[in-house]
Structure 1
Amino acid sequence: MGGGGPGYSGLAGNGGAVTVSGGALVATGGNAYDSESAAGASVGGSGGAYGDGGTGGTVSVSGGTLTATGGSANYWGGGAGVGGGGGNWGSGGDGATVTVTGGTLEATGGTSGNNYSGGAGIGGGGAGSTGGDGAVVTVSGGVLHAVGQGLAASIGAGAGASTSMAVGGSLTVSGTRDTGGSLSTPATGGAAASTPSTVAAAGLTYQQTVSTSGNPTTRIEYVVITGPATGTTVAVPTLSQWALLLLAGMVMALGLCIGRTNVHQSSH
């Protein structure tokens, strides 16, 4: 979807604009089976054999489910789940601009035969030289689940066989994290820089879990909680306020006693 397929020439296709607001969409990038090609992203750029992989476009998810799996390469350059296509002799394609306001986005990078030039879940494609740069990711609702393959980040840069100079990109999450602590780094090297927003007034609450063992994984899920979110302030009465409450209770009790006495006397 977008550039998409494996590349055999030096010119790779770039991704366009994809919007998902309902239903279920499943997309898989084109695989690369020989040493003269590179795999495409599921949603984003195509693979580039002797040139660079195609760049990702713009992806917006507000409802429904988008399941994206990058194309796999038998040799070099797995495609990103969402983002850049793989590069064989060239560099991996750079990531997309991704916005999730609702629904579910499941993104998994494509593997590579050498297992160290895979694609990011969301971000850059892998390559035989330098992996592609990461994506600009903004989340304010729904569920995002990203898995990197072959040393690529879950959200960030693709993996490269040579020393990678790829930039991780950025991840901004709006709301209050109810598990406490600061926002975790999405993955290992080449991961997107995390920037939690402070929009507690919006009532947004999310949970984020991160795993860096094996294939890096990031999951962000907005949840409904029964108590106040972490970081909010719960008002507790002061000592003087407690005294006033106690005095008000005593006055009410005294009033009830006087009322009962008057009723008793009037009945006689």
Structure 2
Amino acid sequence: MITTIYIIIISYFILGGIGFYVINRNKPADVAKKSYTKFGTYFIIINALFFSIVINPIVFKYLCVAIIGIGLAELLRLFYKSKQKNKAFFLASLILFSLLSIGLYRFSEIPKNIILFTFLVLSIFDSFSQITGQLWGKTKLFPTISPNKTLGGLVGGTIVATASALLLNSLYNNSPLHIITLAIGIIVFAMLGDLAASYYKRKYKVKDYSNLIPGHGGVLDRFDSLIAGGAWVAVCINLFNF
């Protein structure tokens, strides 16, 4: 089963690579290079997280703790870099981040098949919302907060991720209704997490949280959807007995 799932992931990445080639073939060399760097780094991250979940989930738990710690450091860094402006906003952001971080930690403790299901839905949505958004996205959803978010990207990513969730029913052995409900919740929270992280950057007038990950705007920029989406699944599993 795991081998089949990994083959599906690689197939998606091949499709994604073709999509990125089509998108970047006529762009300036420096812009295309940055896009390919982001794609390559993302491929490494996806593999690292996938195998941490499959081989030994305790490694995934440690990675979640690292994400929380570095994410907190990035929030603090922007706050102090701004000379502690917007204190009320920072406090509210810190409370929200703390709640989501607790959710992510609890998420790392649930059965590994559900962790893997969530991770795959998140990754597929993230990848294909970017690809379909760049190929067909014209209507911007949140131009002042996250200019790259488009209606085409949201619809394309949601369709592919939801369909994939149904194909991955061997990981989350439940009714189609439960599978779709959990998947849609993952997508919604992933989107909200991404918007919250982007809004925090806009509030402090910076482009990136840090340069720790090549091609990405920091750890929070890369893992905001995992933090929020994982928290949603933790609530569903622990409180609503999904």
TM-score normalised over the length of structure 2? 0.25
Q: Give the number of the structure whose alpha-carbon radius of gyration is greater.
A: 1
Which structure has greater strand proportion? 1
Which structure has greater helix proportion? 2
TM-score normalised over the length of structure 1? 0.23
